[in-house]
Structure 1
Amino acid sequence: MTDTRKTALVVRASRTLGLGLTAEYLRRGWDVIGTVRDTRRTGLHDLAEASRGRLTVESLEMTDPEQISALRDRLAERTLDLLFVNAAITRGDIPIGEVPTDVFTEVMVTNALSPTRVVEWLRPLVAPTGAIGVMSSDQGSIALNTEGGQDLYRASKSALNQLMRCHAARYAADTRTLLLMDPGWVRTELGGPDADLSVEESIPGVVETIEHHRGKPGLHFLDYQGQVVPR
């Protein structure tokens, strides 16, 4: 009998949005590979133990190019229906003129360079009809920035969006779907306790939007309700 289960790779799947995304795909019958940054036990390990072999935990510090290359080699025989990169840090709401250079570099490397490097290097593992997604934010939208604030975080998400646009242009004939996903304002460590949504309210919509667009080539910037986010 042919195994028709689909496979997702979720990068940074150990907590909040990444963990929720992993759990939702497992609930939908997928096999999932989830990455953690180090050897510490996380909720992803608990989920893997309960998954009856459908969730595999891999180690990846995605800011380290050698680790990305090593993961690509370990997964060389796998075919992915979805590659999703979940990564974001913030270092406070500091006016850009006061941001230390090392903090600027850290946020840009984590939020923009590293996710697109993962996309570039792991793209060959994704099936031609598959999807590649990154967790973006409406704060990366230039058109929607009417109030300012969170200068560095906004800039890093705008940079991520632009780098994904570059990727889409470079591979214009590619049949894979490219997605910039805005999960909404979610109650996470980054979103804070006053955010509008819980992970449980955001993630099913994120997955539904991914699945609705998977198989549709081109780059799409969408929110968790499937609405287009202005760039």
Structure 2
Amino acid sequence: MNDTRRSALVIGASRTLGLGLAAELLRRGWDVIGTVRGGGRTGLHELAETSDGRLTVESLEMTDPEQVAALHERLRGRLAGRSLDLLFVNAAITRGDLPIGEVPTEMFTEVMVTNALSPMRVLETLRPLVAPDGTLGVMSSDQGSVSLNTEGGQDLYRASKSALNQLMRCYAARNAEDTRTLLLMDPGWVRTELGGPEAELSVEESVPGVAETIERHRGKPGLHFVDHEGQVVPW
């Protein structure tokens, strides 16, 4: 990893938004470490092969605290005293559009652990790797906004993103002296497995704005809930 280039760790970078963000950061001159689940070949592996060594791939099941701790130890050794400029957690799941009263307990637990608890565990465990003027970010959604929810639907997914937002708010309050930037990022309504085929934006249309917003907020401590155009999202 080059000492003079900015460096990022993107959790959940095997496809769609995570892969797009890794590619966009490379295009902007960053060095990138991206994580994938399991041992199969992904688009991130293909991107790494054309990156001139600027992208490396790590395996991580984000919901497994032991794997997160092991990743911390591997990266601490690799970085050898250097720091990351960005830690960004992208991973999330949805399990369909059920009214909350019809959601099985197991499904509720799976979505909440993946979308809310695990991203925060990752931030808590890996934040020592991030520079004091760096950025800790998670992929949120305007569906996590309570005030914007005027139509309902997607009860469980909305609840998981609202929980993530609240946990980030708790983290920010508990670490008020931290000089790092904290970002809750809304990428817009994007045509992914989560967003569906009717969504307004392609990954290619969303991701440059996400990267630009990340770069513009560097050096601005505190918690920011913003979208891919840099606009503040209401809580």
TM-score (norm 1): 0.98
Shift, 1:3, TM fit: 3.3
Shift, 1:83, TM fit: 0.2
| Code of the aligned partner of 1:182 | D
Q: Distance in 1 between matches of 2:168 and 2:72?
A: 20
Give the 5 Å matches for 1:80-95: 80-95=84-99
Identity %: 81
Residue ranges of structure 2 left out of the alignment (5+ in a row):
none
Give the 5 Å matches for 1:1-231: 3-77=3-77, 78=79, 79-231=83-235
Alignment RMSD, CA only? 0.8
Deviations, residues 92-148 of structure 1 (Å, cap 9, x unaligned): 100000000000000000000000100111011000010010000000000100111
Shift, 1:214, TM fit: 1.0
Shift, 1:221, TM fit: 0.1
Q: Distance in 2 between matches of 1:57 and 1:215?
A: 27
Q: Distance in 2 between matches of 1:62 and 1:168?
A: 21
Q: Which moved more, 1:2-11 or 1:96-105?
A: 2-11
| Code of the aligned partner of 1:20 | G
Give secondary structure in 2 for the equivalent of 1:70. helix
Residue ranges of structure 1 left out of the alignment (5+ in a row):
none
| Code of the aligned partner of 1:127 | A
| Code of the aligned partner of 1:154 | R
Q: Distance in 2 between matches of 1:62 and 1:71?
A: 10
Give secondary structure in 2 for the equivalent of 1:146. coil
**How many correspondences in the alignment?**
230
Q: Distance in 1 between matches of 2:223 and 2:61?
A: 26
| Code of the aligned partner of 2:187 | P
Shift, 1:4, TM fit: 1.2
| Code of the aligned partner of 1:8 | A
Q: Distance in 1 between matches of 2:215 and 2:29?
A: 13
TM-score (norm 2): 0.97
Q: Provide runs of 4+ in structure 1 moved above 2 Å.
A: none
| Code of the aligned partner of 2:45 | H
Deviations, residues 206-230 of structure 1 (Å, cap 9, x unaligned): 0100100011000000000000000
Q: Distance in 2 between matches of 1:162 and 1:59?
A: 28
